[in-house]
Amino acid sequence: MASIVNSKKIAKVMEKECVGCGSCTKSCPRSAIDVPKGICAVVDSASCVGCGLCQKACPASVIEIKARALEGGGEAA
């Protein structure tokens, strides 16, 4: 899947608190989030557009939508 360069947001998972249920993977329309090792969800930053559907679906409420870090080290507005 092509990377989205103009998205200013991205999903962030609180890894230590994630229960790895995979509810987020079903909700993501871009298949940008997965639970590869069965421990916690991992976001593919190249595919995630920060739409927030995974955040809504997460029963543990451990996903946040944050401003994407810019290449220079700052954060997008």
Question: What residues make contact with other proteins under the rule CB under 8 A?
Answer: 17, 19-23, 25-26, 29-30, 35-39, 56-62
What the block records as the tokens of 34 is 């997965």
Q: Which is nearer to other proteins, 21 or 65 (CB)?
A: 21
Tell me phi and psi for residue 28, to 5 degrees: -75, 120
If you ran DSSP here, which 8-state letter would residue 23 be given?
A: H
Shortest Cβ distance from residue 55 to other proteins (Å)? 11
Q: Which is nearer to other proteins, 22 or 45 (CB)?
A: 22
Question: What residue ranges in the chain does DSSP mark as E strands?
Answer: 9-13, 33-34, 42-43, 63-67
Q: Which is nearer to other proteins, 4 or 21 (CB)?
A: 21
